[in-house]
Amino acid sequence: MPGLADRTVVVDSLSKSHAMTGWRIGWIISPGGMADHINSVMQCMLYGCAMFIQDAAVVAVSHQFQEASAMRAEFGIRRDVICARINAIPRLACVPPEGGMFLMIDIRETGIDSLAFANRLVEEEKVVLLAGSSFGASAEGFLRLSLTSPRAKLEEACERLARFTARLSDQPR
For 16-72, what is each residue's pLDDT tens digit? 777 777 777 888 888 878 878 887 777 766 666 778 888 888 888 888 888 888 888
Query: Within this chain, do residues 57 and 93 fall inside the same structural domain, yes or no?
Result: no
Query: Measured between alpha carbons, how far is 36 from 28 in angstroms, rounded to an integer?
Result: 11
* 149 Cβ contact list (under 8 Å, min separation 6): 157
Query: Within this chain, do residues 70 and 147 fall inside the same structural domain, yes or no?
Result: yes
pTM for the model: 0.70
pLDDT of residue 32: 77
Would you place residue 115 in the very low, low, confident or very high pLDDT band (cuts 50, 70, 90)? very high
pLDDT of residue 7: 85
Q: Which of 27, 46, 62 is the last residue of a domain?
A: 62
Task: Give the number of domains in the chain.
Answer: 2
Q: Is residue 26 part of a domain?
A: yes
Q: Is residue 20 part of a domain?
A: yes
Query: Within this chain, do residues 134 and 57 fall inside the same structural domain, yes or no?
Result: no
Q: Is residue 14 part of a domain?
A: yes
Q: Which domain holds residue 145?
A: 66-168
Query: Within this chain, do residues 104 and 84 fall inside the same structural domain, yes or no?
Result: yes
CATH of the domain at 102: 3.90.1150.10
Query: Within this chain, do residues 90 and 138 fall inside the same structural domain, yes or no?
Result: yes
Query: Within this chain, do residues 82 and 160 fall inside the same structural domain, yes or no?
Result: yes
pLDDT of residue 44: 66
Average pLDDT of the segment spanning 114-142: 95
Would you place residue 171 in the very low, low, confident or very high pLDDT band (cuts 50, 70, 90)? low
Q: What percent of the chain has pLDDT over 90?
A: 48
Q: Is residue 173 part of a domain?
A: no
Nearest to 51 by CA among 59, 62, 43, 41: 59
Query: Within this chain, do residues 45 and 106 fall inside the same structural domain, yes or no?
Result: no
Work out the burial of residue 55: count CB atoms within 10 Å of its CB; fewer than 13 is exposed, 13-18 middle, 19 or more buried: exposed
Q: What percent of the chain has pLDDT over 70?
A: 95
Average pLDDT of the segment spanning 122-139: 94
Query: Within this chain, do residues 115 and 82 fall inside the same structural domain, yes or no?
Result: yes
Query: Within this chain, do residues 143 and 74 fall inside the same structural domain, yes or no?
Result: yes
Query: Within this chain, do residues 139 and 120 fall inside the same structural domain, yes or no?
Result: yes
Would you place residue 106 in the very low, low, confident or very high pLDDT band (cuts 50, 70, 90)? very high
In 63-109, where does DSSP find H-type helix?
66-87
For the beta carbon of residue 173, count every other beta carbon within 10 angstroms: 7
pLDDT of residue 114: 96
Query: Within this chain, do residues 46 and 87 fall inside the same structural domain, yes or no?
Result: no
Higher pLDDT, 93 or 11: 93
